[in-house]
Every structure is written in structure tokens, then in C-alpha cells.
């Protein structure tokens, strides 16, 4: 499955999952998409690059190849809503975050095609995630699953105004131990450069909720990062001058998770 994802196995009890980092599109799909969608604007751009330092901490890292427009790896395989009553995109989205069509007219995926995509792209990623999480738990007696995400700082479809810089989700405190959440909060409280919130608009998606089992030593945390903290949101260019201090704070959070 090297064409679906890449997995780096580390030595620490930490797995970083980046389900929306991929931006490739299968060749047979490209002809069906709109020019806007071909740019895959809703990618979690450069998140793997932003977290590259985590290898120094011994973290494992799971990175998909393909865009969330193929299938969203952070949605339930049955397409059930994650945030009932709020706007969200689906398992195989048909509109962008800017409410623009992803597909040319009449080219949207059928129910049968969606199931094929789940089997081809979604399941292999989740099997790899589960296997690596189990390996880490066996080796260390505990595991932290860190869901690394990013999004434009202003997306009216999902929230009003500008998003805080660091948006941590723990499923309202149920996906990790209270001690871990407290350590992460202490790191954020000790700095003043970035705004932050726990369990605001983003409380943790399917992966954060599905694989959490704090009572058995498996803690999960999602970080939704406002993209302007490390990149240009219009050109999608990575900006090292912004990224470096952002990486410093992320490192402190990961170190706190490993304590």
C-alpha cells in the first residue's frame, strides 16, 4: 500500500496521523473535476513538512498520498455526520469549503463508487493506523495518537470570523486523560504569541473519537492549526519565517504529550 500512504515507524509512544495532508488525484478522476477542485484548495497544506521535526522525538508518522476529495479519511465510512446541525463536508465531498462544486455537472460519485473508494483508499489507511497504534501500545504500554490538521483562518462555511491559531480537540475531554489535557493547556498558557482554544469549533474528528481509549492508555488529540501561522493562504506557499516559531510551540505540545 505504499501508493496509498507512507508510514514512518518511530521509537516513542507517539503516532502522528495527517489524514488531510495528501493532495494527489487519480488520473481517472481529474477529468471529472472543476478547475477550482483540481487545485485541491482544502488540503491541509505542508503539514507533513511542518511536523518533520517530530522524527527527532521518535514519533511515528502516517501520511496519505491522495486528496480528501477522493475520500475523507477523517469521516466515518458510512458517511454519518460528525457535527450534526453544523456545516461540514462529507465522506466523498462534492463542494469545496468555499461552497464551489468539486465535480463537473453530472460527474458526482455514485453510492457504488463511494464504497469502492472506501475499500481502496480509506480502509488501508485505517488498517495501517490501527496496526501502528497497537504496535506502539504493545511496546510502551501506552500510546498517544496526535491528529495533525490545518485549515484557512477564515472559512465562513464552518465558523464566524477568524479562527484561533491553535484549536485542540479532545472530544470535550473524553479522548485523552485529564492529566494530558492539563499539560497541553499549561504549555499554551505559558506563551502569548498564539491564540488557542480547547474543544471550540473543532472538537476532534472521526479518528480522534474512534481510536481513543484513555482508560486503556490510548490518548488521542486533534490539533487544527490556522494556516496563516506557517504558510500563505492564497498561494499555498510554505513560509519558513512563520513556520519556525509555530513548530517550536508544536514541539512543546508533543513533548508534553510524551511526558
pLDDT of residue 3: 87
Position 68 scores a pLDDT of 97
Cα torsion 233, 234, 238, 244: sign:
negative
pLDDT tens track for 205-219: 999 999 999 999 999
**Mean of the per-residue pLDDT values for the chain?**
95
Report pTM.
Answer: 0.95
Give the count of beta carbons closer than 10 Å to the beta carbon of residue 164. Answer: 19
58: how many CB neighbours lie within 10 A of its CB?
13
- Give kind and range of the element (H or E) at residue 224: strand 218-226
Which residue from 220, 222, 240 is spatially nearest to 231, judged by alpha carbons?
A: 240
Looking at residue 1, its pLDDT comes to 45
CA angle 17, 46, 211 (to 5 degrees): 10
Across 151-180, average pLDDT: 96
**pLDDT at residue 89, as a whole number:** 79
pLDDT digits (tens, 9 = 90+) for 178-189: 999 999 999 999
Nearest to 59 by CA among 48, 74, 46: 48
Cell of 71: 475520500
What class does CATH assign to 5-258? alpha beta
Pairing state between β 196-198 and 143-151: unpaired
Q: What is the pLDDT of residues 211-259, one digit of tens each?
A: 999 999 999 999 999 999 999 999 999 999 999 999 999 999 999 999 9
User: What angle do helix axes 240-258 and 178-189 make, rounded to 10 degrees?
Assistant: 140
For the stretch 63-115, pLDDT in tens is 999 999 999 999 999 877 666 666 777 899 999 999 999 999 999 999 999 99
Q: How far is CA 104 from CA 79, 88, 190, in A?
A: 22, 20, 49
Enter the C-alpha cell of residue 3.
Answer: 501508493
Q: Is the pLDDT of residue 173 over 90?
A: yes
What's the CA gap between 249 and 147, in Å, rounded?
16
Cell numbers for 151, please give them: 485549515
Give pLDDT, residue 88: 73
Task: Please report, for the chain, the start and end positions of each structural domain, with discontinuous segments joined by +.
Answer: 5-258
| β partners of residue 150 | 225
Alpha-carbon span 101 to 95, nearest angstrom: 5
Could you tell me the CA-to-CA distances from 41 to 26, 36, 155 in Å, in that order? 16, 8, 12
Paired residues of 145 in beta bridges = 15, 220
From the list 126, 133, 103, the residue with the least C-alpha distance to 212 is 133
Q: Got the DSSP string for 157-219?
A: TT-SSPPPSEEEE-TTTTSS-HHHHHHHHHHHHT--SS-EEESSS----HHHHHS-BGGGTEE
Amino acid at each position: 500500500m505504499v501508493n496509498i500512504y507512507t508510514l514512518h515507524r518511530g521509537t516513542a509512544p507517539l503516532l502522528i496521523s495527517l489524514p488531510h495532508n495528501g493532495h494527489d488525484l487519480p488520473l481517472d478522476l481529474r477529468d471529472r473535476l472543476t478547475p477550482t477542485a483540481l487545485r485541491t484548495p482544502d488540503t491541509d497544506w505542508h503539514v507533513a513538512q511542518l511536523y518533520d521535526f517530530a522524527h527527532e522525538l521518535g514519533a511515528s508518522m502516517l501520511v496519505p498520498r491522495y486528496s480528501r476529495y477522493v475520500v475523507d479519511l477523517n469521516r466515518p465510512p458510512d458517511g454519518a455526520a460528525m457535527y450534526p446541525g453544523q456545516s461540514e463536508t462529507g465522506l466523498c465531498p462534492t463542494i469545496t469549503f468555499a461552497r464551489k462544486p468539486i465535480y463537473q455537472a453530472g460527474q458526482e460519485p455514485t453510492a457504488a463508487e463511494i464504497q469502492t473508494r472506501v475499500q481502496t483508499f480509506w480502509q488501508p489507511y485505517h488498517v495501517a493506523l490501527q496496526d501502528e497504534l497497537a504496535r506502539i501500545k504493545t511496546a510502551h504500554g501506552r500510546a498517544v495518537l496526535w491528529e495533525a490538521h490545518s485549515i484557512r483562518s477564515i472559512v465562513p462555511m464552518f465558523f464566524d470570523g477568524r479562527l484561533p491559531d491553535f484549536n485542540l480537540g479532545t472530544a470535550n475531554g473524553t479522548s485523552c486523560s485529564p492529566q494530558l489535557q492539563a499539560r497541553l493547556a499549561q504549555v499554551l498558557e505559558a506563551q502569548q504569541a498564539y491564540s488557542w482554544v480547547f474543544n471550540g469549533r473543532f472538537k476532534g474528528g472521526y479518528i480522534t473519537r474512534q481510536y481513543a481509549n484513555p482508560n486503556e492508555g490510548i490518548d488521542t488529540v486533534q490539533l487544527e492549526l490556522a494556516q496563516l501561522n506557517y504558510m500563505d493562504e492564497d498561494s499555498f506557499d510554505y513560509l519558513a519565517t512563520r513556520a519556525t516559531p509555530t513548530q517550536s510551540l508544536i514541539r512543546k505540545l508533543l513533548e508534553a504529550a510524551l511526558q
